[in-house]
Structure 1
Amino acid sequence: MKLLTVVLALFSWSTIVYCVSTGRFCDSESGDDFQRAHIGLIISPIMSIKMIREIEIYWNHAKYRPGDTIALYTSEPANGLEPIYTLVPNAPSGIKRTGLQATFVPTSNLTFVRQCLQYHVAWLRNGTIRLTNCLQTQPHWMTERKEILGSLPMSRVFLPGTHDSASYAIHRRANLENFVERFVITQDVDVLAQLIYGVRYLDIRVGHYPNTDSVWWANHGVYRSVPMQNVVNQVKTFLDNTNEVVIFDIQEFPVGFGKNLGVHHDFIGFLEEQFAGYYLPKSYHGWTSTLNAIWSSGKRLIIGYDEKRVVSRYESVWPCVTHQWGNVRTIEDLFNYLNRIETESLGYPRSIPRSAMAELTPNTWDVILNRLGGIRQMAETVNFNVTNWYNSKWQHTANIVAVDFVRSSGIIETAIEWNERRNSRC
């Protein structure tokens, strides 16, 4: 809690105004103090026998006043509309659990149009709404900012990502996880939903099971999650319905590969067959390609592959994204590690994108004794802090930031905003 208090004290949002002459957003110190404020909604990853998908409100407003209130609504806020929950902010920054359970939204109900998903939040002063936000999807955020981002390579774009993207479990009702699920499930929505919400970097681990019908599976360590065919189909559905660029990064081969390069050749054959017409060949300028060049090619899927011995043999797979993994067990150590890699990145620009893996890593005894409470509890501890850190300290250096239970963070919203602010000029 000591570090959290310090970080919140340091956290400050800069002003954003719309520059009419350029049609872009830029910083300004003038105007209403609410231009420097932010409120948002996230979904807690904590699941118990009584509660799932608890709505949490987070805020930052350096010039908050006594008597200000923050209110939660089930429709677009309007003066006179009765909220379902209110709170009085008692600090410039904070997060508050509401005790309210968000309605389950299946992926089939998500569209490829940006939408608010029922819940809205507003900041009120003297009974007047001054600032609003909603729980929303972002299926086209890169394309909508094509003018700002088009000249940049992937290594210079702030990309929201998920850790072990295909290790997901979807629960409609509150339940208790078994011991294994507590330490292997990292997301609460499927890959298609992650992409619709705004994720653009997918961290994929693969297992080979030749004696099963599916053969290729998404894994988290030795845990077999979902057939790889399901993941592939979800990615293709997203690409078919948007003009976004997606990194499909194969990072580990925990089961069934060993030292047998033949299995790798077979799997790359599977990827080439399944993603034919979607993947961008490596010879197309590789990782130095700008987003404009990628869009011009008509191929918007980049497949990273974590096996150097076969990457050189295929045009379909690229050198994988560099994972920056702290292997730490406390929030203080995670802060120190992320601070080091982000600071070092200022002096060592990279052509290959890097992903800050913003998670805690339990050791064997942590798992056996359940000392860190499982991945859901660790994400609850980490994600709000990570959101604040990348808003206040590393917003100018961030490349990919990958988190567990992405809906319990504000990293998508943070990435979108800072891509605008650090690349726009008035």
Structure 2
Amino acid sequence: MEGPLQTSVDVCHENGQWMSRLPEKLWDTPLYNLALPGSHDTMTYCLDKNSAVSGNESKLVKFLNKCIPCIVHPVIMKWSTTQVLTVTEQLEAGARYLDFRIAHKANDPSLNLYFVHMVYTTVTVQDVLWEVLKWLETHPQEVIILACRNFDGLTRRLHRHLIARIKEIFHYKLCPRNVVPTLRSMWQHGHQVIVSYEDDLEVEKHRELWPAIPYWWGNKTATRALIQYLERMKRRGRPVVIHKGHEDDQRAGAPLLRGQTEGVGAVQSAEEKALRVCMNKERLSYIDILIGAKCSLQNTDFLLYLWGFNSHSNPFVQTSGSSIWRA
């Protein structure tokens, strides 16, 4: 299946195999101690310009969009679009964390699920999962995180439907949460996909699902303010998270930090230069970085960070601002 949207952006295809080229000394490092670039609101490159505003939005936004759509709707579309590359192109550019915000359209009798960021996408979740699988099959040593979240309008029936499709499509490629994932162990078992699922009830039922990655939002438009926020959060260290139902299971992690400035500027330290895979503002519009190791950011226009949990149950945490793993 081809990507639903073709772009003229020149993707650096050499980043498509970057995990397989990592030095052997990193193969046994838990993934939550590696840096993974990812994309923020991954699927917003194919938002439907004719879509209604999602059910999660405020009554005021819906009212204004209904009364003066010629003014409000273009603003919504511009604000909501954070990516221009297709999901396949993002993976080729080096993204290994996909931010999937999933929704069911109001009054839709079908089981079709879409992605959402104020408005819905033109493509369904199932079609995109098949597209991701096709890419994985040609990149057997690359590992990705699918962060399934939001779940706007999903009932228990729709959750069951979505999880069944995830299992059907990725099957043995799904990494169970009772392991400490490393590149070597995942390669040995044929695992390529870690699914972070933002619904505790469903996570408890399925060993293929990992707990949701906590999300800290920097909510800064100025680079300096964002860096200050990230440095302040970094000094606090990884938060301790108690997973519901497992009081003794304490996981240290760091959230996915998000700022609001477009593009990514120069990264200074030698350690951070290694993280520059797919951090070119011409390739990915909004970047999330999952970070599990210490990192100090300088001259960074926009970064999202994820720090991993030190635990068997969920080694990943999300933040909106800075970290060593993800996009």
1:331 is matched with 223
Q: Does 1:219 align with 2:94?
A: no
Return the letter of the residue paired with 1:327.
Answer: N
Deviation of 1:222 after TM superposition, in Å, equals 4.4
2:34 is matched with 157
Q: 1:27-426 maps to which residues of 2 (within 5 A)?
A: 104-105=8-9, 137-169=14-46, 178-209=74-105, 211=108, 215-242=112-139, 243-254=141-152, 256-257=153-154, 260-283=155-178, 285=179, 288-345=180-237, 354=254, 356-360=256-260, 378-380=261-263, 383-384=264-265, 387-388=266-267, 391-392=268-269, 395=272, 407=284
Return the letter of the residue paired with 1:264.
Answer: H
Deviation of 1:330 after TM superposition, in Å, equals 3.1
Mapped contact 2:39–2:99 kept (Cα < 8 A):
yes
Deviation of 1:358 after TM superposition, in Å, equals 3.4
Mapped contact 1:219–1:226 kept (Cα < 8 A):
no
TM-score, normalised to structure 2, is 0.64
Q: 1:154 to 1:339 in 2, by over 3 A?
A: same
Mapped contact 2:216–2:257 kept (Cα < 8 A):
yes
Mapped contact 2:43–2:121 kept (Cα < 8 A):
no
Return the letter of the residue paired with 2:31.
Answer: M
Q: 1:213 to 1:189 in 2, by over 3 A?
A: farther
Deviation of 1:323 after TM superposition, in Å, equals 2.2
> Match of 1:281, SS?
coil
Return the letter of the residue paired with 1:236.
Answer: L
User: In structure 2, how many angstroms separate the alpha carbons of the residues matched to 1:289 and 1:306?
Assistant: 20
2:62 is matched with none
Mapped contact 2:40–2:286 kept (Cα < 8 A):
no
User: In structure 2, how many angstroms separate the alpha carbons of the residues matched to 1:231 and 1:241?
Assistant: 16
Mapped contact 1:325–1:356 kept (Cα < 8 A):
yes
Q: Deviations over 1:264-320 (max 9, x none)?
A: 22221222122223212223x1xx322211111112111110111210111121112
Mapped contact 2:9–2:283 kept (Cα < 8 A):
no
Mapped contact 2:96–2:145 kept (Cα < 8 A):
yes
| Count of residue pairs brought into register by the alignment | 249
**Percent of aligned positions that are identical:** 25
Q: 1 or 2, which has the higher strand percentage? A: 1
Mapped contact 1:201–1:248 kept (Cα < 8 A):
yes
Mapped contact 1:278–1:299 kept (Cα < 8 A):
yes
TM-score, normalised to structure 1, is 0.51
Q: 1:392 to 1:347 in 2, by over 3 A?
A: farther
Mapped contact 1:321–1:352 kept (Cα < 8 A):
no
Deviation of 1:348 after TM superposition, in Å, equals 7.2
Deviation of 1:184 after TM superposition, in Å, equals 0.9
Q: 1:267 to 1:404 in 2, by over 3 A?
A: farther
Runs of 4+ in 1 over 6 A off after TM superposition: 346-350, 400-405, 409-412
Q: 1:246 to 1:190 in 2, by over 3 A?
A: same
Mapped contact 2:82–2:286 kept (Cα < 8 A):
no
Which of 1 and 2 has greater Rg?
1
User: In structure 2, how many angstroms separate the alpha carbons of the residues matched to 1:335 and 1:351?
Assistant: 25
Mapped contact 2:36–2:97 kept (Cα < 8 A):
yes
User: In structure 1, how many angstroms separate the alpha carbons of the residues matched to 2:169 and 2:228?
Assistant: 41
User: In structure 1, how many angstroms separate the alpha carbons of the residues matched to 2:254 and 2:222?
Assistant: 22
Q: 1:297 to 1:326 in 2, by over 3 A?
A: same
Q: Deviations over 1:131-172 (max 9, x none)?
A: xxxx553111111115132111121001101111111149xx
